[in-house]
Structure 1
Amino acid sequence: MNLALWICAGLLAAVALFGGIVKTFVPTAKLAASPGGAWVGAAGAGFVKTLGVLEILAAAGLILPAVLDIAPVMVPVTAVCWVVLMVGAIVTHVRQGELVSVAANLVYLALAVFVAWGRFGPGSF
Structure 2
Amino acid sequence: MEIAYWILAGLLALLYLYSGGIKVFQSQDQLRPMMGWVDQIPMPVVRVIGALEVLGAIGLILPPLTGIAPGLAIAAAIAAAIGLVLIQIGGIVTHVSRGEIKVIGLNIGLLVAAAVTAWLGTVWL
TM-score norm. by structure 1 comes to 0.89
CA distance in 1, matches of 2:49, 2:59: 15
Per the TM alignment, residue 98 of structure 1 is displaced from its structure 2 partner at its CA by: 3.1
TM-score norm. by structure 2 comes to 0.89
Matched, 1:123 2:124: yes
* Structure 1 portions without partners, runs of 5+: none
* Structure 2 portions without partners, runs of 5+: none
| C-alpha distance after superposition, 1:77-111 (max 9, x if no partner) | 11111111111111111222334541011111111
Show the counterpart of 1:74.
76
CA distance in 2, matches of 1:84, 1:52: 13
1:12-91 map, 5 Å: 12-32=12-32, 34-35=33-34, 37-70=35-68, 71-72=72-73, 73-91=75-93
CA distance in 2, matches of 1:97, 1:28: 21
Per the TM alignment, residue 43 of structure 1 is displaced from its structure 2 partner at its CA by: 0.5
- The answer (yes or no) to whether the contact 1:29–1:41 under 8 Å persists in 2 is no
Per the TM alignment, residue 50 of structure 1 is displaced from its structure 2 partner at its CA by: 1.0
Show the counterpart of 1:4.
4
1:90-101 map, 5 Å: 90-99=92-101, 101=103
Percent of matched pairs sharing the same residue: 36
Show the counterpart of 2:115.
113
CA distance in 2, matches of 1:98, 1:22: 22
Per the TM alignment, residue 44 of structure 1 is displaced from its structure 2 partner at its CA by: 0.5
How many residue pairs get matched? Answer: 121
CA distance in 2, matches of 1:60, 1:100: 30
CA distance in 2, matches of 1:123, 1:60: 18
**C-alpha RMSD over aligned residues:** 1.4
